[in-house]
Chain A
Amino acid sequence: MTTTKTITVRRDVAAESKADAGIERLRLGRRGTLVVNLLSSPGAGKTALLEATAKCFGGERSMAVLVGDLETDRDAQRLSPLVPTAQLTTGGACHLELPLVRRGLDALGDPQVDFLFIENVGNLVCPASHDLAEHLRIVLVSTTEGDDKPGKYPKMFRTSDTMMVTKLDLLPHVPFSVEAVIEDARRIQPDLDVLQACAIDGTGIRTWCDYLVSERTKRLAEFE
Protein backbone atom coordinates (compact mmCIF):
# COMPACT_ATOMS: atom_id res chain seq x y z
CA MET A 1 0.00 0.00 0.00
CA THR A 2 1.31 3.44 -0.89
CA THR A 3 1.49 5.87 1.98
CA THR A 4 1.29 9.60 1.55
CA LYS A 5 2.93 12.10 3.84
CA THR A 6 2.33 15.84 3.62
CA ILE A 7 4.70 18.39 5.10
CA THR A 8 3.12 21.78 5.68
CA VAL A 9 5.44 24.78 5.67
CA ARG A 10 5.42 28.48 4.83
CA ARG A 11 8.69 29.13 3.09
CA ASP A 12 9.51 32.11 0.91
CA VAL A 13 10.79 30.58 -2.31
CA ALA A 14 13.14 33.52 -2.78
CA ALA A 15 14.46 33.30 0.81
CA GLU A 16 17.89 32.05 -0.19
CA SER A 17 18.48 34.71 -2.83
CA LYS A 18 17.13 37.40 -0.50
CA ALA A 19 19.52 36.30 2.25
CA ASP A 20 22.37 36.25 -0.23
CA ALA A 21 21.50 39.77 -1.38
CA GLY A 22 21.38 40.86 2.26
CA ILE A 23 24.94 39.65 2.81
CA GLU A 24 26.21 41.52 -0.26
CA ARG A 25 24.28 44.66 0.77
CA LEU A 26 25.94 44.52 4.17
CA ARG A 27 29.41 43.99 2.71
CA LEU A 28 29.13 46.90 0.28
CA GLY A 29 27.31 49.14 2.73
CA ARG A 30 29.96 48.67 5.42
CA ARG A 31 32.72 49.81 3.14
CA GLY A 32 30.79 52.90 2.04
CA THR A 33 29.39 51.90 -1.34
CA LEU A 34 25.76 52.79 -1.95
CA VAL A 35 24.28 50.35 -4.46
CA VAL A 36 21.64 51.95 -6.68
CA ASN A 37 19.42 49.74 -8.84
CA LEU A 38 18.07 51.74 -11.80
CA LEU A 39 14.97 50.30 -13.44
CA SER A 40 12.76 51.41 -16.29
CA SER A 41 11.29 50.40 -19.61
CA PRO A 42 13.75 50.34 -22.54
CA GLY A 43 14.73 53.79 -23.73
CA ALA A 44 13.62 55.75 -20.66
CA GLY A 45 17.06 57.32 -20.36
CA LYS A 46 18.96 55.29 -17.77
CA THR A 47 22.28 55.49 -19.64
CA ALA A 48 21.83 59.19 -20.42
CA LEU A 49 21.09 59.85 -16.75
CA LEU A 50 24.26 57.99 -15.75
CA GLU A 51 26.35 59.95 -18.27
CA ALA A 52 24.99 63.19 -16.83
CA THR A 53 25.56 61.91 -13.28
CA ALA A 54 29.20 61.03 -13.99
CA LYS A 55 29.80 64.49 -15.50
CA CYS A 56 28.05 66.24 -12.62
CA PHE A 57 29.98 64.36 -9.93
CA GLY A 58 33.27 64.87 -11.77
CA GLY A 59 35.98 63.96 -9.28
CA GLU A 60 33.78 64.97 -6.34
CA ARG A 61 32.32 61.46 -5.86
CA SER A 62 33.49 58.11 -7.17
CA MET A 63 31.15 55.79 -9.03
CA ALA A 64 31.11 52.62 -11.09
CA VAL A 65 28.41 51.16 -13.30
CA LEU A 66 27.22 47.66 -14.08
CA VAL A 67 25.02 47.81 -17.11
CA GLY A 68 22.62 45.03 -18.08
CA ASP A 69 21.32 44.31 -21.55
CA LEU A 70 20.21 41.26 -23.48
CA GLU A 71 22.93 41.81 -26.07
CA THR A 72 25.72 44.22 -27.12
CA ASP A 73 28.05 46.40 -25.06
CA ARG A 74 26.72 49.66 -26.49
CA ASP A 75 25.87 51.17 -23.11
CA ALA A 76 29.25 50.21 -21.65
CA GLN A 77 30.93 51.88 -24.62
CA ARG A 78 29.07 55.09 -23.84
CA LEU A 79 29.83 55.03 -20.14
CA SER A 80 33.33 53.58 -19.90
CA PRO A 81 35.12 56.77 -21.08
CA LEU A 82 33.55 58.47 -18.04
CA VAL A 83 33.52 55.86 -15.25
CA PRO A 84 34.54 52.23 -14.63
CA THR A 85 31.82 50.21 -16.34
CA ALA A 86 31.14 46.52 -16.86
CA GLN A 87 28.58 45.28 -19.33
CA LEU A 88 26.41 42.38 -18.18
CA THR A 89 24.80 40.60 -21.10
CA THR A 90 22.00 38.29 -20.12
CA GLY A 91 21.79 36.44 -23.45
CA GLY A 92 18.03 36.78 -23.57
CA ALA A 93 17.08 36.82 -19.90
CA CYS A 94 14.73 39.66 -19.04
CA HIS A 95 16.35 40.79 -15.79
CA LEU A 96 19.58 40.75 -13.78
CA GLU A 97 20.23 38.44 -10.85
CA LEU A 98 22.83 38.69 -8.10
CA PRO A 99 25.35 36.19 -9.55
CA LEU A 100 25.63 38.37 -12.68
CA VAL A 101 26.11 41.45 -10.52
CA ARG A 102 28.91 39.68 -8.65
CA ARG A 103 30.52 38.74 -11.94
CA GLY A 104 30.42 42.39 -12.98
CA LEU A 105 31.95 43.49 -9.68
CA ASP A 106 34.76 40.96 -10.17
CA ALA A 107 35.34 42.23 -13.71
CA LEU A 108 35.86 45.73 -12.28
CA GLY A 109 38.14 44.44 -9.50
CA ASP A 110 35.53 45.06 -6.79
CA PRO A 111 36.06 48.84 -6.86
CA GLN A 112 35.93 50.95 -3.69
CA VAL A 113 33.50 53.59 -4.90
CA ASP A 114 30.90 55.84 -3.28
CA PHE A 115 28.19 54.70 -5.70
CA LEU A 116 27.70 51.47 -7.59
CA PHE A 117 24.94 51.93 -10.15
CA ILE A 118 23.28 48.86 -11.60
CA GLU A 119 21.53 49.75 -14.83
CA ASN A 120 19.02 46.92 -15.05
CA VAL A 121 17.61 45.40 -18.24
CA GLY A 122 14.91 47.72 -19.64
CA ASN A 123 11.74 46.05 -18.40
CA LEU A 124 9.09 47.17 -15.90
CA VAL A 125 8.07 43.61 -14.96
CA CYS A 126 10.60 40.93 -13.95
CA PRO A 127 13.42 43.12 -12.56
CA ALA A 128 11.00 44.21 -9.82
CA SER A 129 11.15 40.70 -8.32
CA HIS A 130 14.93 40.44 -7.97
CA ASP A 131 16.96 41.89 -5.13
CA LEU A 132 20.40 42.86 -6.43
CA ALA A 133 21.74 43.90 -3.01
CA GLU A 134 20.76 47.48 -3.68
CA HIS A 135 20.34 50.09 -0.96
CA LEU A 136 18.23 52.30 -3.19
CA ARG A 137 15.83 51.27 -5.94
CA ILE A 138 14.95 53.92 -8.49
CA VAL A 139 12.39 53.64 -11.26
CA LEU A 140 12.60 55.99 -14.22
CA VAL A 141 9.55 57.07 -16.21
CA SER A 142 10.12 59.15 -19.32
CA THR A 143 7.60 61.70 -20.51
CA THR A 144 7.32 59.89 -23.85
CA GLU A 145 6.03 56.70 -22.21
CA GLY A 146 2.80 58.17 -20.90
CA ASP A 147 1.75 59.03 -17.36
CA ASP A 148 -0.32 55.87 -16.89
CA LYS A 149 2.58 53.48 -16.29
CA PRO A 150 2.57 53.16 -12.46
CA GLY A 151 -0.90 51.59 -12.31
CA LYS A 152 -0.01 49.17 -15.10
CA TYR A 153 3.14 47.93 -13.39
CA PRO A 154 2.26 48.11 -9.68
CA LYS A 155 4.99 45.81 -8.38
CA MET A 156 7.72 47.94 -9.93
CA PHE A 157 6.43 51.11 -8.30
CA ARG A 158 5.49 49.42 -5.03
CA THR A 159 9.05 48.14 -4.55
CA SER A 160 10.81 51.37 -5.58
CA ASP A 161 12.10 54.04 -3.21
CA THR A 162 12.24 56.79 -5.79
CA MET A 163 10.67 57.71 -9.11
CA MET A 164 12.68 59.82 -11.55
CA VAL A 165 10.69 61.49 -14.32
CA THR A 166 13.03 61.87 -17.33
CA LYS A 167 13.02 63.71 -20.69
CA LEU A 168 11.44 66.80 -19.14
CA ASP A 169 12.43 68.82 -22.23
CA LEU A 170 9.84 66.91 -24.26
CA LEU A 171 6.92 67.87 -22.00
CA PRO A 172 5.60 70.57 -24.36
CA HIS A 173 5.34 67.98 -27.15
CA VAL A 174 3.76 64.99 -25.45
CA PRO A 175 0.50 64.34 -23.60
CA PHE A 176 2.13 63.68 -20.23
CA SER A 177 1.17 65.15 -16.87
CA VAL A 178 3.85 65.09 -14.17
CA GLU A 179 1.13 65.60 -11.53
CA ALA A 180 -0.86 62.61 -12.86
CA VAL A 181 2.13 60.25 -12.87
CA ILE A 182 3.05 61.27 -9.32
CA GLU A 183 -0.52 60.78 -8.13
CA ASP A 184 -0.74 57.36 -9.79
CA ALA A 185 2.61 56.23 -8.37
CA ARG A 186 1.87 57.44 -4.83
CA ARG A 187 -1.42 55.53 -4.74
CA ILE A 188 0.77 52.45 -4.98
CA GLN A 189 3.75 53.66 -2.95
CA PRO A 190 2.79 56.59 -0.69
CA ASP A 191 6.39 57.00 0.54
CA LEU A 192 7.87 57.33 -2.96
CA ASP A 193 10.39 60.17 -3.42
CA VAL A 194 9.97 61.93 -6.75
CA LEU A 195 12.60 63.71 -8.83
CA GLN A 196 12.52 65.17 -12.33
CA ALA A 197 15.33 65.70 -14.81
CA CYS A 198 16.47 66.15 -18.35
CA ALA A 199 19.84 64.58 -19.01
CA ILE A 200 20.28 66.48 -22.30
CA ASP A 201 20.04 70.06 -21.00
CA GLY A 202 21.03 69.24 -17.41
CA THR A 203 17.75 70.27 -15.75
CA GLY A 204 17.43 68.59 -12.35
CA ILE A 205 20.79 66.81 -12.52
CA ARG A 206 22.40 68.75 -9.67
CA THR A 207 19.34 68.08 -7.48
CA TRP A 208 19.54 64.38 -8.40
CA CYS A 209 23.23 64.20 -7.47
CA ASP A 210 22.60 66.00 -4.18
CA TYR A 211 19.77 63.55 -3.51
CA LEU A 212 22.11 60.60 -4.12
CA VAL A 213 24.71 62.03 -1.73
CA SER A 214 22.14 62.60 0.98
CA GLU A 215 20.58 59.13 0.52
CA ARG A 216 24.06 57.59 0.74
CA THR A 217 24.66 59.26 4.09
CA LYS A 218 21.22 58.30 5.37
CA ARG A 219 21.08 54.73 4.10
CA LEU A 220 24.64 53.71 4.92
CA ALA A 221 24.39 55.03 8.50
CA GLU A 222 22.78 51.73 9.57
CA PHE A 223 25.81 49.76 8.34
CA GLU A 224 28.39 51.71 10.38
Chain B
Amino acid sequence: MHEQSLVRSLLKQVESLRCEYDGGCVSEVRVEIGPLSGVESLLLLGAFELLSNGTTADGATLVVDEVPLMAKCKSCSHAFEINNFVFSCPLCGGNVKVTSGEEFLLTSVSFSGDPVQNELSTAVEKHETASAQRSER
Protein backbone atom coordinates (compact mmCIF):
# COMPACT_ATOMS: atom_id res chain seq x y z
CA MET B 1 0.00 0.00 0.00
CA HIS B 2 2.66 2.52 -0.93
CA GLU B 3 0.12 4.27 -3.17
CA GLN B 4 -0.65 6.68 -0.31
CA SER B 5 2.86 8.10 -0.26
CA LEU B 6 2.79 8.39 -4.05
CA VAL B 7 -0.54 10.24 -3.91
CA ARG B 8 0.97 12.70 -1.41
CA SER B 9 3.71 13.47 -3.95
CA LEU B 10 1.09 13.69 -6.71
CA LEU B 11 -1.02 16.18 -4.74
CA LYS B 12 2.06 18.28 -4.05
CA GLN B 13 2.76 18.48 -7.79
CA VAL B 14 -0.87 19.30 -8.56
CA GLU B 15 -0.78 22.10 -6.01
CA SER B 16 2.48 23.41 -7.39
CA LEU B 17 0.94 23.51 -10.92
CA ARG B 18 -2.15 25.26 -9.56
CA CYS B 19 0.05 27.98 -8.06
CA GLU B 20 2.28 28.17 -11.12
CA TYR B 21 -0.64 28.63 -13.53
CA ASP B 22 -2.91 30.53 -11.18
CA GLY B 23 -5.55 27.83 -11.58
CA GLY B 24 -8.94 27.63 -9.92
CA CYS B 25 -10.46 24.49 -8.41
CA VAL B 26 -8.86 21.30 -9.62
CA SER B 27 -11.50 19.41 -11.59
CA GLU B 28 -9.45 16.63 -13.14
CA VAL B 29 -6.03 15.07 -12.60
CA ARG B 30 -4.70 12.74 -15.26
CA VAL B 31 -1.87 10.29 -14.69
CA GLU B 32 -0.11 7.59 -16.63
CA ILE B 33 0.96 4.27 -15.18
CA GLY B 34 2.56 1.24 -16.74
CA PRO B 35 3.17 -2.40 -15.84
CA LEU B 36 6.48 -1.53 -14.15
CA SER B 37 5.40 1.69 -12.44
CA GLY B 38 4.72 -0.20 -9.22
CA VAL B 39 1.32 1.48 -9.01
CA GLU B 40 -1.98 -0.34 -8.90
CA SER B 41 -4.84 1.57 -10.48
CA LEU B 42 -7.60 0.71 -7.98
CA LEU B 43 -5.41 1.37 -4.95
CA LEU B 44 -4.34 4.65 -6.50
CA LEU B 45 -7.94 5.78 -7.01
CA GLY B 46 -8.80 4.88 -3.41
CA ALA B 47 -5.77 6.70 -2.00
CA PHE B 48 -6.51 9.77 -4.14
CA GLU B 49 -10.08 9.99 -2.91
CA LEU B 50 -8.94 9.70 0.68
CA LEU B 51 -5.99 12.09 0.59
CA SER B 52 -7.43 14.76 -1.71
CA ASN B 53 -10.20 15.29 0.80
CA GLY B 54 -9.89 18.85 2.14
CA THR B 55 -7.25 19.88 -0.42
CA THR B 56 -7.77 22.08 -3.49
CA ALA B 57 -8.13 18.82 -5.44
CA ASP B 58 -11.07 17.74 -3.27
CA GLY B 59 -13.77 16.36 -5.57
CA ALA B 60 -11.48 16.24 -8.60
CA THR B 61 -11.65 13.22 -10.88
CA LEU B 62 -8.52 11.14 -11.16
CA VAL B 63 -8.15 9.63 -14.61
CA VAL B 64 -5.63 6.80 -14.86
CA ASP B 65 -4.25 5.97 -18.30
CA GLU B 66 -2.60 2.59 -18.40
CA VAL B 67 0.18 2.44 -20.97
CA PRO B 68 1.93 -0.68 -22.30
CA LEU B 69 5.53 -1.55 -21.60
CA MET B 70 7.46 -0.41 -24.68
CA ALA B 71 11.14 -0.85 -25.45
CA LYS B 72 13.76 -0.14 -28.08
CA CYS B 73 16.64 -2.47 -28.90
CA LYS B 74 20.04 -0.96 -28.13
CA SER B 75 21.61 -2.95 -31.01
CA CYS B 76 19.14 -2.89 -33.93
CA SER B 77 16.78 -0.06 -32.76
CA HIS B 78 13.70 -2.26 -33.18
CA ALA B 79 10.83 -0.74 -31.17
CA PHE B 80 8.33 -3.16 -29.66
CA GLU B 81 5.95 -3.93 -26.82
CA ILE B 82 7.36 -6.10 -24.07
CA ASN B 83 5.18 -9.10 -23.31
CA ASN B 84 5.56 -11.40 -20.31
CA PHE B 85 8.42 -9.24 -19.02
CA VAL B 86 11.00 -10.58 -21.47
CA PHE B 87 13.52 -7.75 -21.75
CA SER B 88 15.42 -8.72 -24.88
CA CYS B 89 14.93 -7.90 -28.55
CA PRO B 90 12.70 -10.43 -30.35
CA LEU B 91 14.65 -9.82 -33.59
CA CYS B 92 18.32 -9.88 -32.56
CA GLY B 93 18.26 -10.85 -28.87
CA GLY B 94 19.98 -7.59 -27.94
CA ASN B 95 19.62 -5.62 -24.72
CA VAL B 96 16.80 -3.10 -24.66
CA LYS B 97 16.00 0.31 -23.27
CA VAL B 98 12.50 0.65 -21.84
CA THR B 99 10.77 3.66 -23.40
CA SER B 100 7.44 3.62 -21.55
CA GLY B 101 5.60 1.78 -18.82
CA GLU B 102 8.15 2.16 -16.02
CA GLU B 103 7.07 5.44 -14.53
CA PHE B 104 4.18 7.04 -12.72
CA LEU B 105 3.61 10.32 -14.58
CA LEU B 106 1.36 13.29 -14.01
CA THR B 107 0.15 14.17 -17.51
CA SER B 108 -2.45 16.91 -17.05
CA VAL B 109 -4.40 18.96 -14.56
CA SER B 110 -7.68 20.73 -15.35
CA PHE B 111 -8.91 23.71 -13.37
CA SER B 112 -12.36 25.20 -13.36
CA GLY B 113 -13.56 28.60 -12.17
CA ASP B 114 -11.55 31.45 -10.73
CA PRO B 115 -8.20 31.07 -9.05
CA VAL B 116 -8.61 29.84 -5.49
CA GLN B 117 -7.51 32.56 -3.09
CA ASN B 118 -5.76 30.11 -0.87
CA GLU B 119 -2.54 30.20 1.03
CA LEU B 120 0.19 27.72 0.23
CA SER B 121 -0.44 25.87 3.48
CA THR B 122 -2.84 23.45 1.91
CA ALA B 123 -4.44 20.43 3.38
CA VAL B 124 -1.76 18.35 1.65
CA GLU B 125 0.71 19.73 4.14
CA LYS B 126 -1.73 19.15 6.94
CA HIS B 127 -1.87 15.51 5.90
CA GLU B 128 1.90 15.34 6.00
CA THR B 129 2.09 16.90 9.43
CA ALA B 130 -0.50 14.48 10.74
CA SER B 131 1.35 11.59 9.16
CA ALA B 132 4.69 12.74 10.59
CA GLN B 133 3.11 13.01 14.03
CA ARG B 134 1.76 9.49 13.69
CA SER B 135 5.17 8.13 12.80
CA GLU B 136 6.75 10.00 15.73
CA ARG B 137 4.46 8.17 18.10
Contacts and interface: CB of A to CB of B under 8 A. Distances in A.
B87 A5 contact: no
Given A5-B24, A7-B23, A125-B38, 6 more contacts: A4-B112, A5-B111, A6-B111, A12-B104, A13-B106, A158-B85
Contacts of B107: 8-10
B71 to A, nearest CB: 11
A191 B28 CA distance: 40
| Interface class of chain A by DSSP | mixed
21 contacts: A5-B24, A6-B109, A7-B108, A7-B109, A8-B107, A9-B107, A9-B108, A11-B13, A13-B106, A14-B103, A94-B1, A94-B2, A95-B2, A126-B1, A126-B2, A128-B38, A129-B37, A187-B88, A188-B85, A188-B87, A190-B88
Interface of A: 2-14, 16-17, 91, 93-95, 97, 125-126, 128-130, 151, 154-155, 158, 187-191
A139 to B, nearest CB: 14
A129 B38 contact: yes
Interface string B33-64: 00111110000000000000000000000000
B111 A17 contact: no
Name the prevailing secondary structure of the B interface residues: mixed
B126 interface: no
B2 A12 contact: no
Contact of A191 (B36, B95, B134): B95
Interface residues of B, number: 39
B124 interface: no
Contacts of A5: 21, 23-24, 110-112
Q: Top 10 nearest A-B pairs by Cβ distance?
A: A129-B38, A154-B85, A126-B2, A6-B110, A11-B106, A13-B104, A8-B108, A4-B112, A5-B111, A13-B10
B6 interface: yes
Interface of B: 1-2, 5-6, 9-10, 12-13, 17, 21, 23-24, 27-28, 31, 35-39, 84-88, 95, 103-113, 134-135
B113 A3 contact: yes
Nearest to A103: B135
Q: Which of B27, B31, B87 has the most CB of A within 10 A?
A: B87
Contacts of A94: 1-2
A34 B118 CA distance: 44
B36 A16 contact: no
A100 B13 CA distance: 22
Contacts of A128: 38
A10 B105 contact: yes
B110 A4 contact: yes
A4 B17 contact: no
A87 to B, nearest CB: 14
A7 B17 contact: yes
A10 B13 CA distance: 11
Contacts of A155: 36, 38
Nearest to A126: B2
Nearest to A95: B2
